[in-house]
Amino acid sequence: MTIKKLIEHLETYNPNDVIAYDLWVVEDVIYAAKDRSEPIEVTQEQAEEVIRLMNHRKDCNVGLNWDVMNYHLDVIIEEN
pLDDT by residue for the chain (80 residues), tens only, comes to 889 999 999 999 999 999 988 899 999 999 999 999 999 999 999 999 999 999 999 888 999 999 999 999 999 988 87
- Total domains present in the chain: 1
Enter the pTM of the model: 0.83
In a domain, 10, yes or no: no
What whole-number distance in Å separates Cα of residue 73 and Cα of residue 3? 21
DSSP state letter for 60: T
In a domain, 42, yes or no: yes
Number of DSSP helices (H) and strands (E) in the chain, helices first: 4, 0
Which residue range(s) make up the domain with 40? 22-79
**Number of Cβ atoms within 10 Å of the Cβ of 34:** 11
Report the run of H or E that residue 10 belongs to, with start and end: helix 3-10
In a domain, 8, yes or no: no
Look at the chain and count its residues.
80
In a domain, 3, yes or no: no
In a domain, 12, yes or no: no
In a domain, 5, yes or no: no
In a domain, 40, yes or no: yes
In a domain, 11, yes or no: no
